[in-house]
Amino acid sequence: MVTFRTGVEGDYDEVNQLVQRAFLNDTEGREWAEERALFEPDRSVLAVDGDQVVGHVGTFTRDLTVPGGVLAAGFVTVVAVAGTHRRRGLASAMLTRQLREIRDRGEALALLWASEAGIYGRYGYGLASRRLRFEIDRREVRIDGSRFDKSRLDGLRLRAAPAAVHRAQVAEVYERVRPSRPGFASRDDRWWDYRLADQAWHRGGAGPLQAVVCFDGDTPVGYALYRFRSNWNDSGPNGEVGVMETVAATPAAYTMLWDFLLNVDLTRTVGMWLGAIDEPLQYLVNDVRRLGMGMGDGLWARLLDVPAALGGRRYAAEVDVVLEVVDELLPGCGGVFRLRGGPDHATCEPTTDAADLRLDTSTLAAVYLGGNSLGSLAAAGRVEELRPGGVATTAPAFTWTRAPHALEIF
């Protein structure tokens, strides 16, 4: 008989084995110190058959930047069910219990990366951000001087070294930028240990993790994390730069970092898997087609406290709207709410007033970070307009200056 329980500290090894098998990973020669340090057993839900762990869902405690604010959130991770116990409702039971526990902790929303995108809509998650993949032919791409005055780079300088050397500067830049970029998550020392971990199996055949930091005087104003992959063919050098993340506090720093990444000797391609959907590089180069872009899904979000979530962000335009939010999985999370907000204020409270718009919780999650258009979702039949013109007057408010961008998979 399968039972469910909260995790304890000694569960890590068995949980890790379950997850690695579920994700088809080869664990030979791997060490798990950085991952183990992130494990929060009291936020894990385990399915147990006798003395065997056959299912797991976990949560990380972190803050998330939302448009105009920062909120505590539950970061959902390592969702797995043993192949011997599939199709028994274990995942559904664990994920539903987890959502209730996140809500009861006072966190307004849950977030995850979906290994199977078709799963999570049934639990009220909506696709809240997207990512761009780049496969750049660097011999054909350069920063276009007609689009960016390179004299603005005067006074800036770069330093490149193994990532661990620049840990303090990288963290300083990240913390400066994080409060203003929806989708960024808090990183304490444990998370920096994990992000900068450089075990051989992290490298995927590439070289050690590197950092290039842009300085304005003595102040770090941008960085990129990357790896080199050396390769040669009959035509000569054919190396690759694999970019893990770029973060910059100024346009000049961003441009200088990319100018460096696009001009590494003995390389022919530059790849980045987790680029922002509004990545500025698209508007800086001479030939956008040579960026080799492809789009994928990013963060999935699930609102658990509608007043706290909507009141905790800001809005690109003034809005006063009554929303009927339908939550079939957790009816207590739904209801009718009046949202009033703007660029520097927001309140959201239950109301008995007639609703202007009706939408389910996954649709509300999809627009929450500003990454999707309320009008597009209405055109897909995902928003019911109960007051004529309600979509047109509400949609502009849910946009934001920058698209949400999730830099890391957790």
Q: Which amino acid is at 331?
A: P
Residue with tokens 């013109």: 389
Six-digit token pair at 297?
A: 């899904």
395, 120 Cβ separation under 8 angstroms: no
Q: Is 410 a catalytic site residue?
A: yes
SS (H, E, C) 195-259: HCCCCHHHCCCCCCCEEEEEEECCEEEEEEEEEEECCEECCEECEEEEEEEEEECCHHHHHHHHH
Q: In whole angstroms, how far apart are CA 188 and each of 115, 168, 172, 389?
A: 25, 12, 12, 45
With the C-alpha atoms ordered 365, 108, 94, 189, is the resulting torsion angle positive or negative? positive
DSSP class per residue in 378-401: HHTT-EEESSTTHHHHHGGGG--S
Six-digit token pair at 138?
A: 């660097």
The catalytically annotated residue of 39, 125, 368, 410 is 410
- Report the greatest alpha carbon distance in the chain: 73
383-399 exposure pattern, b = at least 16 Cβ within 10 A, e = fewer: bbeeeeebbebbbebbb
Q: Under 8 Å CB-to-CB from 151, ≥6 apart: which residues?
A: none
Q: Is 254 a catalytic site residue?
A: no
Return the CA Rg of the chain: 23
C-alpha to C-alpha distance for 230 and 173, rounded to whole angstroms? 29
The catalytically annotated residue of 75, 120, 223, 368 is 120
Q: Within 10 A of 232 (CB to CB), how many other CB atoms are there?
A: 10
Which residues, listed in sequence order, are joined to residue 131 by a DSSP beta bridge?
276, 296
Tell me which residues are annotated as active site: 120, 410
